[in-house]
Amino acid sequence: MSLLPIVIGVVVIYFFVKLIVSPLVKIIAGIIIFLVVIFVLQNFFNVNFNQMLGPFGKYLDFNAWNINLNGVINLISHYINQALSFFRYLVGNTPKLPQ
């Protein structure tokens, strides 16, 4: 009887990851790759999307974006440092086997 809820839980988690999380990750990765390609084309190959896309080209002009990424980078760095310190804490406090 205790094996049935475990199997149902594993199946539900599997389908949740397969049907919801995986497509979302693919969509976000596709958008990021698309933006990186456009950024590289504009900055290194001087491709001008403003003329090709008409009025929507202004949204792809990365030089016009007023983005301050320092806050985001500092936040990500803070979380990574916290995760590393937690991992070091776990590794340092594992009980040693008697020999």
Domain residue extents for the chain: 3-92
Decide if 60 contacts 40 (C-beta within 8 A): no
**CB neighbourhood size of 39 (10 A):** 12
Tens digits of residue pLDDT in 25-49: 999 999 989 888 887 887 788 887 7
Instruction: Write down the mean pLDDT value for the chain.
Output: 82
Token pair listed for 32? 């990021």
- Check: pTM over 0.85? Answer yes or no: no
With H, G, I as helix, E, B as strand and everything else as coil, classify residue 95.
Answer: coil
